[in-house]
Structure 1
Amino acid sequence: MTVTANPDLVDGVPRSRIAAASMIGTTIEFYDFYVYATAAVVVFPQLFFPKSDPTTALLASLATFGLAFVARPLGSILFGHFGDRLGRKTTLIASLLTMGIATFLIGVLPTYQQAGLIAPALLAVLRFSQGLALGGEWSGAALLATETAKPGKRAFAGMWPQLGAPLGFLLANATFVVLVGWLGDDFLVWGWRLPFLLSIVMVAVGLYVRLRLTETPVFARAIDTGQRVSAPVIEVFRGSWRQLVIGTFVMVATYTLFYTVNTWTLSYGTAARPPHGTGLGYSYLDFLRLQLVGVLFLAAMLPVAAMLSDRFGRRPALLVFTAGIMVYGTTFGLFLNADTSMGAVLVFLIIGMTLMGLAFGPMSAVLPELFPTNVRYTGSGIAYNAASILGAAVAPFIATWLATSHGVGWVGVYLSTAAAVSFVAVLVMRETRDTALDDVTTDTVTIADHVGDALHPG
């Protein structure tokens, strides 16, 4: 199986179809994931947990939100095993089905008032299932795009599945905005179920697109040359543990940024103003609209970041973008205080999402480039999703505690610290822009490389 002479075809499949399949699939899966994130702030604390203490209910809801991030590395191991053994296409179909079924079932769950503690228990199980599915989705979609990319355009090709994150967020939040405005009080009675139930329709579309693909030529060549391993996860930890550590910490800043500036700010922005609370006092609907505007800037920056990464290299681009996140963390106290106007909050969200797009854009090329073909699905997935625990699972919880106990400025300190960790990881990461995916060995990072790259970032 080889790439055809036509540069716009890969084994007879148009590159445009491959890009669409990688983007549509991740859009659907991130829609499902973000529907839960949005509901976790306003819906689930009221319907799935005891309401005697609103703050405790919110923290319990955010804890179930974070449960999916614990499941994601397990999903990357599970789906990565089959992705590296059986192929990218089959595994991506399985992850899409898992996510769609779990999301649909959340939409038919009984509430705490109807079923007692069974309700939050079932919610936690299905949230865990969402995490398993997303753990297998991202790396597969990234490989689908990058392993079929044109020479020198790998980051730009990998940008298409990255678009799934902001597009899924836009779809999820736009659905909530429409339903809250349309249904009013009935939204909390039954309307909250609709975004979850709609997932089944979107999954059907995603399955149709992905079933029309073929296997990536890079993986096919690995099979033809006998490179497949029996236990990819063991091989990753044995031969690519340095890449796992570096890849994980490279991703930490982007996760912390996104889930602080979106999930946490939604709860902070809609909490009561002092003296009755510690938030900004905006309506749920108004704040969702602000977030929708901010995410547009995330989407717009993804192709910009990808092109810069292809032009100047992964490390120089990421060093600049991550430094920007460090500086941004120092502005939380300035933008988010009792006197903050809605315009200032919008500027805050736009800056944060612009930086998110720049830092997130090259990741679907960076992480796969760190690993050899026979463990690439598993390795890139574990790195990506292990970072989700360190940078996303705990971010809303820690930010809520810091804002309540020490003030909102400390939330920014938390973000800047996470960005500093990622900055160091990028600094010691070897440049991978010109790496041929077929030729990557199991030991692409050495101490000598760390020193040399630190002295010569280009």
Structure 2
Amino acid sequence: MSTTAGAPPGSGPAKRSGPWKIATASLIGTSVEWYDFGIYATAAALVFPELFFPELNRALGTLMSFTTLFVGALGRPLGAVLFGHIGDRYGRKKALIWSLLLMGGGTVCIGLLPGYGSIGFVAPVLLVLIRMVQSLAIGGEWGGAVLFAVEHAPPRRKAFFGSFPQVGDGVGYFLSTGAFAAIALLGHDVLVAWAWRIPFLLSAALVLVGLLIRSTMEESPEFEAVREAGSGTEKRETPVIAVVRDAWRTWLLASGAFLVTVGGYYIVVTFMSTYAVSALGFSDSQAAGAGTAASVVVIVCTPLAALAADRFGLRKVTLTGILLHLVVAFPMFWLAETRSVAGLWLAMCLPMLASTIAYAAIGTLVSGWFTPRTRYTGLSMSFQTAGLLGTLAPAATSWLATSFGGSWTPVAFAFAGIALVSAVCLVACAPAPGATDGPADTPQAADRPAETAAETAAS
């Protein structure tokens, strides 16, 4: 066996990849994912209405542009099932490599896509189709990256190492908004004409680096324990069937707990950027710069929040972050209404801080709610169900603001309402049968994950 029953993750043969290497690989992968999220969300707010929906007025074009975020995310739950099956049945590493290839390739294709002026209505159709293919890959990326880091981590530092994919979110967002902030200095006309393509094409370099690192990773010790313990069985149940039948309540409540970390993020990144430019008079570069500042908050504060979760408990810290969304829902708009650059920076950084505290350890927490045999599938399905619903947030908030005469008040209420739903789901959720309440919350369970994995696989 590659791991010893009862040994903590990360122990075993000397050749086993260390937690720092795995965490770095997870960070790189999710950096690519959220670089894609960031450039697409920013482009959807700043240039896609003119590129792909020029025959509509600005408000309706923006609404249609944001709608592509949702339509293009319809494949995320299917991707969670597909890559979850690969990750739970054939290995976490294989799933992560293929998800990165599909996602990065799609981003480059968007950068090469002609606009409406060149090929008419075919342009937005192709945009949506590419996003749907990408959404399959996205469905299996984040959950696998978190799981890989958590399963290799030392017992009492699982939240810290499991937070590296979330740091990758901040890195990807920093790179994407930084790239748009730089090219926006060329002027809006140049941005719309050709410069918007640069950030999409640059993703090819990030993908190559990510593939190089991931190809050198060792497989998860917990997965190897499950595979070896179940090697004598004739047939293993499909992971998605096991989740839906045995852990459906955990899946649905975990999806609700994730909701504010996705929907709230999109409101800050997309709606706030659009509102700042169209209603408050900020330039594209100023809006992108505020987003870059918010990404620094994610990068710096995520590991600190995760260390706090290892010390004080995953549920406590995650719930604190969710409830902070209620606190900042209205102040973030008050700050933006000052129409100062400093006010806009604070308007984006404060809600991003709340999101960071909630997001830092929630992946580690939810991964413990599913048994090792179905963990990749359960974690990915939960996050991507929330992701599918969360991508409705930009279009929904744009519609709300338009319906109320451009007022931000209903958007603030919606932001707070999403946070309240997530808080209720987090409090109500309990682990699936045979699972624990998160490795870092229960050190006893964290000290014997391989044993639990073997017992689960053999049952």
> Is TM more than 0.5 here?
yes
Deviation at 1:23, TM superposition (A): 0.5
Matching residue's letter, 1:91: A
> Which residue of the partner structure matches residue 352 of structure 1?
351
TM-score by length of 2: 0.89
Deviation at 1:132, TM superposition (A): 1.4
Deviation at 1:182, TM superposition (A): 4.3
Alignment check: 8 A CA contact 1:107 1:196 kept: yes
Alignment check: 8 A CA contact 2:260 2:422 kept: yes
> Which residue of the partner structure matches residue 382 of structure 1?
381
Q: SS in structure 2 opposite 1:229?
A: coil
**Mean Cα deviation higher: 50-59 or 348-357:** 50-59
Deviation at 1:332, TM superposition (A): 4.7
Aligned length: 433
Alignment check: 8 A CA contact 1:75 1:136 kept: yes
> Which residue of the partner structure matches residue 29 of structure 2?
25
> Which residue of the partner structure matches residue 402 of structure 1?
400
Map Cα deviations across residues 348-402 of structure 1 (whole Å, 9 max, x no partner). Answer: 2221111111011002201211111111111100000111122x21111121122
Q: Mapping of 1:45-444 within 5 angstroms? A: 45-182=49-186, 185-226=189-230, 229-271=236-278, 279-332=279-332, 334-337=334-337, 339-390=338-389, 392-406=390-404, 407-430=407-430, 431-432=437-438, 433-434=441-442, 435-436=445-446, 437-438=449-450, 439=452
Q: Percent identity?
A: 35
Alignment check: 8 A CA contact 1:85 1:230 kept: no
Deviation at 1:187, TM superposition (A): 2.6
Higher relative contact order (CA 8 A, sep 6+): 2
The 1:20/1:111 distance shift into structure 2, 3 A limit, reads: same
**Mean Cα deviation higher: 72-81 or 42-51:** 42-51
Map Cα deviations across residues 36-56 of structure 1 (whole Å, 9 max, x no partner). Answer: 111111221111123342222
Alignment check: 8 A CA contact 2:18 2:152 kept: no
**Mean Cα deviation higher: 92-101 or 52-61:** 52-61
Matching residue's letter, 2:22: I
Structure 2: distance between partners of 1:229 and 1:263: 43
Structure 2: distance between partners of 1:201 and 1:8: 34
Matching residue's letter, 1:304: L
Q: SS in structure 2 opposite 1:404?
A: helix
Structure 1: distance between partners of 2:342 and 2:179: 23
Deviation at 1:34, TM superposition (A): 1.8
Map Cα deviations across residues 166-214 of structure 1 (whole Å, 9 max, x no partner). Answer: 1101111111122222476333222211211122221111110000011
Structure 2: distance between partners of 1:333 and 1:58: 20
**Mean Cα deviation higher: 310-319 or 77-86:** 310-319
Matching residue's letter, 1:269: A
**Mean Cα deviation higher: 146-155 or 45-54:** 45-54
Matching residue's letter, 1:37: A
Deviation at 1:215, TM superposition (A): 0.7
Deviation at 1:9, TM superposition (A): 7.9
Matching residue's letter, 2:307: M
Alignment check: 8 A CA contact 1:332 1:411 kept: no
Matching residue's letter, 1:64: T
Map Cα deviations across residues 210-252 of structure 1 (whole Å, 9 max, x no partner). Answer: 0001110000000011188341111110111121012111111
Provide the aligned C-alpha RMSD in A: 2.1
Matching residue's letter, 1:365: T
Structure 2: distance between partners of 1:111 and 1:427: 46
> Which residue of the partner structure matches residue 434 of structure 2?
none
Matching residue's letter, 1:265: M
Q: SS in structure 2 opposite 1:209?
A: helix
> Which residue of the partner structure matches residue 446 of structure 1?
none
Structure 1: distance between partners of 2:14 and 2:339: 52
Structure 1: distance between partners of 2:99 and 2:285: 32
Matching residue's letter, 2:254: G
**Mean Cα deviation higher: 324-333 or 120-129:** 324-333
The 1:335/1:110 distance shift into structure 2, 3 A limit, reads: same
Map Cα deviations across residues 141-171 of structure 1 (whole Å, 9 max, x no partner). Answer: 0111001110111101101111111110111
Alignment check: 8 A CA contact 1:229 1:374 kept: no
Alignment check: 8 A CA contact 1:142 1:158 kept: yes
Structure 2: distance between partners of 1:252 and 1:105: 29
Structure 2: distance between partners of 1:65 and 1:10: 44
Structure 1: distance between partners of 2:59 and 2:344: 23
